[in-house]
Amino acid sequence: MTNLKDFCDGEFDAVVCVFAIFFADNMKRQIDQMWRLVRPGGKLAVIDSGPRTFEPAYSHWNRY
């Protein structure tokens, strides 16, 4: 498994974490590490589940 420490600061244009951040022992530290990897002007996307995660798409879909 690759460790985030294996990558250089600003190495990526974007970093995406989908339904996985809750596995981290320390979520804040993990997000800080992901931000470290994003170049200036880049994007960090962290997607997690919770109430209304898929809204408004889910409600729209349920109407049919």
pLDDT given for residue 1 in this prediction: 62
pLDDT band at residue 12, thresholds of 50, 70 and 90? very high
**Count of domains in the chain?**
1
Average pLDDT over residues 18-45: 93
pLDDT band at residue 14, thresholds of 50, 70 and 90? very high
Mean pLDDT, the chain, as a whole number?
89
pLDDT given for residue 34 in this prediction: 95
Domain around 37: 4-62
Q: Which of 10, 6, 20, 14 is nearest to 48 (CA)?
A: 20
Answer positive or negative: Cα dihedral of 40, 33, 3, 49.
Answer: negative
CB 35 within 8 A of CB 44: yes
pLDDT given for residue 57 in this prediction: 84
Q: What is the DSSP letter of 61?
A: H
